[in-house]
Amino acid sequence: MASVAATAGLPERFAYSTSKGDVRAMTLSVAIDFVKQGIRCNCISPARVHTGFVDGYLAKNYPGRESEMFENLSAAQPIGRMAKPAEIADLALYLCSDQAAFVTGTDYPIDGGFFNLHN
């Protein structure tokens, strides 16, 4: 798993962005190094995903304002909401399936329009 942070400058996300950029670069290297063995390697770069982590972060940092801040985070996505974990899982399932047999060395942004807005 990479992130939109791998290719976009996000404030106060230096270490996170660097680590996700490393995942993206590793994906390309692994794809080339192991293609002859029939091993494919791709990465997924989601934007915000509504998980328990998000809920916990909001509860810890914005007590009593969780709903308001959740709406703000959601509205910041061009599509108007955060991704659902199942949407990310569906992409991962596709990439692991035989239907993606010709796909390798690719970063898949699943970002609700984030990349288009920030590049």
Average pLDDT, rounded, for the chain: 93
Domains of the chain (ranges; CATH) run 4-113 (3.40.50.720)
Q: Where are the beta strands (DSSP E) in the chain?
A: 43-46, 107-110
pTM of the predicted model over 0.85:
yes
pLDDT given for residue 118 in this prediction: 55
Residue 6's CB: how many other CB atoms inside 10 A?
A: 21
Using one digit for the tens of pLDDT, what is the confidence trace for 18-76? 999 999 999 999 999 999 999 999 999 999 999 999 999 999 999 999 999 999 999 98
Any idea which residues carry the catalytic annotation?
16
Q: 59 Cβ partners below 8 Å, 6+ apart?
A: 66
pLDDT given for residue 23 in this prediction: 96
